């Protein structure tokens, strides 16, 4: 039964440890940079979505507000005061009913006093956005304003929802890219190990590994040949120097 070669085993373990250290030290920065880049991409996308959604909401609410203003200004053009606008309450009630996100709409006179109001006075709707537009008559005289308060709850819910979807996608992307990185680097390290073991086996003049790196083995073969040639030359030279064959015929 052949005796186990402890030295070779130690060497193999040391090689494996060096290789796994190499594998980790290459994989870790790739995974880290990938995770940071993915995180920044999600961060940018969520920020952009937040802004775009806000702009869409603003655009819609501005339209509603402008529509209301045009409606009420028709009465103001006839010379009515703000408090005398008979259709105002119905108009703001209609708009508030049409959009459940509207917390309140108030029509203010030129002193800022509330002339008409719909919705909840105390919002209780969490964060809100306020929009305001001035009203004037056909002579250009400022007559008051319309104020609209809109709940951000649906906006926040939308963002939380889409944010969690994107974070989940990011997590999947990071896990997938990490798995690919680990796999790819393992294959890469295996290739390096094959090259090194081809060299080692050839230097040891042992049996070649299963899939040898021919280029590396060829170089190691040259090293062996050159070393053997040199050692033989040295040996011959030593014999020549120490022998009594002074004429050097033995060389």
Partner 1 sequence: MSDEQRLYARPVRQLFIFALVLLLATQVALSLYAWRLAEERLLPELGRKAQATARSLSGKLDRALDYGIPLRQLEGVPDFFADVLKQNSDLAYLRVSDAHGATLYGSVQPDSSADDEFLDTDVPLVLNGATVGTLHVGVDKRYVAARVRELRYDIGIVLLTSLLIAFEILWFVVTLNFTVPMRQIVAHMVRIASGDFRQRPQASDGATLASRLDGITRRVNQGFESLLHKAAAAPLADPQRQAKAHTTLQRLRGIYRFGESAADGDLTQQRVVLVRVLSFLFMFAEMLSRPFLPVYAASLSGAGASVAGNASGSAAGLLPAGLLASLPITAFLLGVALSMPLAGRWSDRVGRRNSYIAGALLVTAGLAATGLIPVYGALVAARAATGVGYALMFMSCQGYVFDNTDNSNRAKGMALFVGAIMVAEICSPAVGGILADRIGYQLVFIFGAAVALIAALLAVAVLDNRRAAAAATPAAIATAAFAAPAPAHNAPFLRLARNRRFLALSILSGVPAKFLYSGFLIFLVPLLLSSLDCTKSEIGRYTMLYGLSCLALGPLFARLADRYNAYAALVATGGLLTGAGMLPILQGASADLVMLGVAALGIGQAMSISAQLVLVARVTQTEARDLGTGPIVGMFRLLERLGAAAGPVATGALVARFGPQQAMAALGAFGLGTSLLFILAFRHGADAPDLAEGARA
Rule CB under 8 A: which of 109-128 touch partner 1?
A: none
Residues of this chain, 19-58, that bind partner 1 according to CB under 8 A: 21-22, 25-26, 29-30, 33-34, 36-38, 40-45, 47-49, 52-53, 55-57
Show Cβ contacts of residue 19 under 8 Å, excluding neighbours closer than 6 positions.
189, 192, 193
φ and ψ at residue 208, rounded to 5 degrees: -65, 155
φ and ψ at residue 232, rounded to 5 degrees: -65, -40
d(CA 39, CA 166): 10
Show Cβ contacts of residue 104 under 8 Å, excluding neighbours closer than 6 positions.
96, 117, 118, 119, 120, 121, 123, 147, 148, 149
Q: Are 145 and 130 in contact (CB under 8 A)?
A: no
Tell me 244's DSSP state. S
CB nearer partner 1, residue 93 or residue 99: 99
Residues of this chain, 211-240, that bind partner 1 according to CB under 8 A: 213, 215-216, 218-220, 222-223, 225-227, 230-231, 233-235, 237-238, 240
Residues of this chain, 136-195, that bind partner 1 according to CB under 8 A: 158, 162, 165-166, 169-170, 173-174, 176-177, 180-181, 184-185, 188, 191-192, 195
Contact letters for partner 1, residues 57-96 (x by CB under 8 A): x-xx--xx-xx-----------------------------
CB nearer partner 1, residue 97 or residue 120: 97
């Amino acid at each position: 039964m052949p005796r186990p070669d402890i030295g070779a085993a130690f060497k193999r373990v040391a090689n494996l440890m060096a290789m796994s250290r190499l594998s980790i030290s290459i994989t870790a920065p790739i995974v880290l940079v990938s995770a940071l880049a993915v995180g920044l991409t999600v961060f940018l996308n969520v920020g952009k979505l937040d802004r775009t959604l806000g702009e869409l909401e603003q655009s819609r609410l501005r339209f509603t507000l402008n529509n209301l203003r045009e409606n009420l200004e028709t009465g103001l053009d006839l010379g009515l005061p703000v408090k005398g606008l008979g259709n105002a309450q119905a108009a703001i009630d209609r708009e508030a009913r049409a959009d459940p996100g509207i917390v309140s709409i108030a029509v203010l006179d030129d002193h800022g006093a509330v002339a008409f109001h719909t919705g909840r006075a105390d919002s209780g709707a969490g964060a809100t956005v306020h929009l305001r537009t001035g009203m004037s008559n056909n002579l250009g005289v400022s007559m008051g304003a319309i104020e609209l308060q809109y709940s951000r709850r649906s906006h926040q819910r939308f963002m939380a929802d889409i944010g969690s979807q994107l974070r989940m996608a990011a997590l999947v992307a990071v896990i997938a890219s990490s798995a690919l990185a680990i796999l790819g680097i393992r294959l890469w390290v295996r290739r390096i190990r094959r090259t090194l073991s081809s060299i080692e086996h050839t230097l040891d003049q042992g049996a070649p590994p299963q899939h040898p790196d021919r280029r590396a083995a060829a170089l190691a073969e040259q090293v062996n040949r050159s070393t053997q040639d040199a050692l033989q030359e040295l040996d011959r030279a030593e014999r020549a120097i120490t022998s009594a064959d002074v004429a050097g015929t033995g060389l």
